[in-house]
């Protein structure tokens, strides 16, 4: 049996309203409580959307691959992605690389850990609705 992966991602949680979030510094984005905590998560999640920026901001490689990933507890992160561009629903491992979150591909047949609590695409939150 493959040993459990070590947690690689710090997420924030709020003892008052139980929200889970990133970034982990500052008050709770839902209720404003200042008494937030951090916890270690596996960082395994699914790609909700991805794109390749052919003309990225200065300092980034071209193409610059970006993905919106939902990890445990429904926390969503915008991450830089390793090539090739991941497809919607792809299983990835998100790690913090300094101030940047990066996604590494993780084929389900090779991860050996089952999908457990990995969220299904679009399964934990209602669709995004832009402000009117």
CB of 72 to Zn ion, least distance (A): 18
Say if CB 7 and CB 20 are below 8 A apart.
no
Query: Among the candidate windows 8-16, 52-60, 66-74, 123-131, which touches Zn ion by CB under 5 A?
Result: 8-16
DSSP 9-44: EEEEE-TTT--EESS-SSS-TTT--S--EEEEE--E
Q: Which residues of 27-64 are buried (b: 16+ CB within 10 A; e: fewer)?
A: ebeeeeeeebeeeebbbbbbbbebeeeeeeeeeeeeeb
Query: Among the candidate windows 10-18, 78-86, 95-103, 115-123, which touches Zn ion by CB under 5 A?
Result: 10-18
Query: Among the candidate windows 1-9, 23-31, 43-51, 97-105, which touches Zn ion by CB under 5 A?
Result: 23-31
Q: Kindly state whether residue 11 participates in binding Zn ion, applying the rule CB under 5 A.
A: no
For Zn ion, the closer CB: 19 or 106: 19
Q: Which of 17, 40, 78, 88 binds Zn ion (CB under 5 A)?
A: 17
The neighbour count for residue 8, using CB atoms within 10 Å, is 15
Name the residues that contact Zn ion, by CB under 5 A.
14, 16-17, 19, 28, 30-31, 33
């Amino acid at each position: 049996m493959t040993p459990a992966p070590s947690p690689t991602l710090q997420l924030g949680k709020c003892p008052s309203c139980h929200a889970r979030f990133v970034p982990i510094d500052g008050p709770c984005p839902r209720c404003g409580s200042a008494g937030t905590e951090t916890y270690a998560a596996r960082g395994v999640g699914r790609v909700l959307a991805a794109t390749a920026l052919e003309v990225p901001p200065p300092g980034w490689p071209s193409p610059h691959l970006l993905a919106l990933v939902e990890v445990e507890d429904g926390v969503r992160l915008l991450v830089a992605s390793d090539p090739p561009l991941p497809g919607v629903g792809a299983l990835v491992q998100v790690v913090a690389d300094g101030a940047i979150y990066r996604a590494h591909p993780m084929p389900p047949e090779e991860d050996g850990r089952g999908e457990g609590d990995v969220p299904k695409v679009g399964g934990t939150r209602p669709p995004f609705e832009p402000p009117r």
